[in-house]
Amino acid sequence: MSLLIVLSGIALLFILILKKVSPMIALLIVAILTGLFLGMPVQKVMSTVANGIGSTLGSMVMVLALGAMMGKLIEDSGAAKKIVAILMHSFGYKNIQWAVLLTGILVGIPLFYNAGFVVLIPLVFAISSATGLPKLYIGIPMAAALSVTHGFLPPHPGPVALAALFHADLGKTLIMGLSLAIPIAIIAGILFPRMIIKNITFDKAAELSYLSDESLPSGFKSFFVALLPVFIIAAGTIGEGFAADTPMLTFFQFISDPTIALIISVVVTVILQDIPMAKAMESCTEGVKGVAMIILIIAAGGAFKQVLVDSGVGNTVKDFSAQLALLPLFLGWLITALLRITLGSATVAALTASGMVIPLIGPGVSPELMVLSVGAGSLMFSHVNDTGFWMFKEYFGLSLKQTFGTWTIMESIVSIMGLGGVLLLNLVL
């Protein structure tokens, strides 16, 4: 019955958005009604909604806002255009997707998906503007790269947490994860958008004029400011491993936080731009204005997610999955996938599923492969209860139908191919 109520709430959400109701308002209405129909007391519903908004924005709002500031500063300085010019020169105009895919993998390893998305989205828009290529043609490789790192590759926080819970070897997990992540990223990030986006034309004149623009900043300076948040977070993450039980551990933990890394990056970028402070702050303000509604929609999505978690719907899914007699690796994927579809958050789904999955790990079941199986399941069929769905939809200006046809299918490709890869590795290893 609870799952039927959830499905009804999702259907209502579709109807409201199709009627042109703001996604933020629609999500809040559906979150409240779903909680009430699931039997939660009114006060509990409202406190859950508040907690969902608070927990989502608490971990994300500064990253989104500071990332928007960084994006605008990089855009106004010409650094984004310079990066595009270098990438086009290095990879070739027609292979620009490969450059974005590689960049996404490098950036996605130390960053959570949302933070990586915010850091890279200005680059995607700059490439699209310079080349005249559709934003999705450039954006899907970025999103696919971030997804595979989120699901499969240590030292990304998600796989690291699962490896610790399952007592898996991080080195083996990384090697196995790379063997899955690279081909899956190519299929979901390169081949998939080429299949769905037809009649791509490459304007050679635009390429040549862009590469010959001598008014742009230096390549080193451009890449330095654009990737500075990644460098800082990576340095902090690596430093934590080497500085355990030393006074420097606190410092590395401090700079590895995405908010701190972005604050430092904004300050450094303002200094390096060598423009009046008032002008720099104007750029920062304009950047935040551009993502204000996106932040509110993500917050409302967090409220809906929290209602589903606190109402106990996840337990219903777990109980149903426990009754199935299936291969442990497949069951681990299935439990996580069902939780992902029900609860929305990939991280919540993976960590919630881990408690059920741990007893499945035994003789003949590799803990490293179980990390990858759960990671793959956590990416399955992202839809309206996932904040990542709304980020992709709003940043790229898509309709619901277009978002399902691009983002949701891309995530499902990564998830299903991840499961297939895990089962194949289980046969050959």
**Residue 333's pLDDT is what?**
94
Cβ–Cβ < 8 Å for 120, 147: no
Report DSSP state, residue 93.
Answer: G
Nearest C-alpha neighbor of 341 from the set 321, 365, 327, 322 = 321
Average pLDDT over residues 136-151: 94
DSSP 3-state assignment of 217?
A: coil
**Residue 213's pLDDT is what?**
57
Domain count, the chain: 1
Distance CA 408, CA 391 (A): 12
**Residue 345's pLDDT is what?**
74
Nearest C-alpha neighbor of 109 from the set 148, 166, 70 = 148
Average pLDDT over residues 12-41: 87
Cβ–Cβ < 8 Å for 144, 185: yes
**Residue 170's pLDDT is what?**
76
Between the CA of residue 425 and those of 100, 158, 183, 252, 301, what are the distances in Å? 28, 21, 14, 36, 36
Q: What are the pLDDT digits (tens) for 221-254?
A: 888 887 788 788 778 878 887 877 788 888 988 9
**Residue 396's pLDDT is what?**
94
Q: Please, which residues have CB within 8 angstroms of residue 17's CB and are 6 or more apart in sequence?
A: 23, 26, 400
Q: Quick one: pLDDT band at residue 351, thresholds 50, 70, 90? A: confident
Residue 156's φ and ψ, nearest 5 degrees, are: -60, 140
Q: Quick one: pLDDT band at residue 427, thresholds 50, 70, 90? A: very high
Cβ–Cβ < 8 Å for 396, 135: yes
Distance CA 278, CA 284 (A): 10
**Domain that includes residue 190, residue range:** 2-428
**Residue 281's pLDDT is what?**
92
Task: Provide the b/e sequence for 359-394 (b: ≥16 CB within 10 Å).
Answer: ebbeeebbbbbbbbbbbbbbbbbbbbbbbbbbbbbb
In the chain, % of residues over pLDDT 70? 92
pTM of the model: 0.74
Q: Quick one: pLDDT band at residue 98, thresholds 50, 70, 90? A: very high
Q: What are the pLDDT digits (tens) for 193-224?
A: 999 987 776 555 555 455 555 667 888 888 88
**Residue 50's pLDDT is what?**
93
Between the CA of residue 427 and those of 124, 161, 183, 364, 365, what are the distances in Å? 39, 25, 18, 11, 11
Distance CA 174, CA 163 (A): 10
Report DSSP state, residue 404.
Answer: I
Average pLDDT over residues 45-73: 84
Residue 212's φ and ψ, nearest 5 degrees, are: -95, 5
Q: What are the pLDDT digits (tens) for 246-286?
A: 888 889 889 888 788 889 989 998 988 777 888 889 988 98
Neighbours of 208 (CB within 10 A): 11
Beta strands in 190-299 (DSSP E): none
Q: Does residue 207 or residue 39 have the better pLDDT?
A: 39
For the chain, the first-to-last Cα distance in angstroms comes to 42
DSSP 99-131: HHHHHHHHHHTTS-HHHHHHHHHHHHHHHHHHH
**Residue 314's pLDDT is what?**
66
Distance CA 229, CA 226 (A): 8
Cβ–Cβ < 8 Å for 173, 372: yes
Distance CA 329, CA 186 (A): 24
Average pLDDT, rounded, for the chain: 84
Distance CA 78, CA 99 (A): 19
| 105-119, 265-279, 410-424: least confident range | 105-119
Distance CA 260, CA 280 (A): 19
Distance CA 408, CA 402 (A): 9
Q: In the 3-class helix/strand/coil scheme, how is 357-386 assigned residue by residue?
A: HHHHCCCCCCHHHHHHHHHHHCCCCCCCCC
Reply yes or no on whether the pLDDT at 291 is more than 80: no
Q: What are the pLDDT digits (tens) for 356-402?
A: 677 778 788 899 999 999 999 999 999 988 888 999 999 999 999 99
Q: Does residue 251 or residue 302 have the better pLDDT?
A: 251
In the chain, % of residues over pLDDT 90? 30
Structure tokens at 152: 């499969």
Distance CA 64, CA 229 (A): 13
Between the CA of residue 61 and those of 30, 41, 84, 149, 326, what are the distances in Å? 22, 29, 28, 22, 41
Q: Quick one: pLDDT band at residue 40, thresholds 50, 70, 90? A: very high
Q: Quick one: pLDDT band at residue 16, thresholds 50, 70, 90? A: confident
**Most trustworthy range by pLDDT among 186-195, 279-288, 332-341:** 186-195
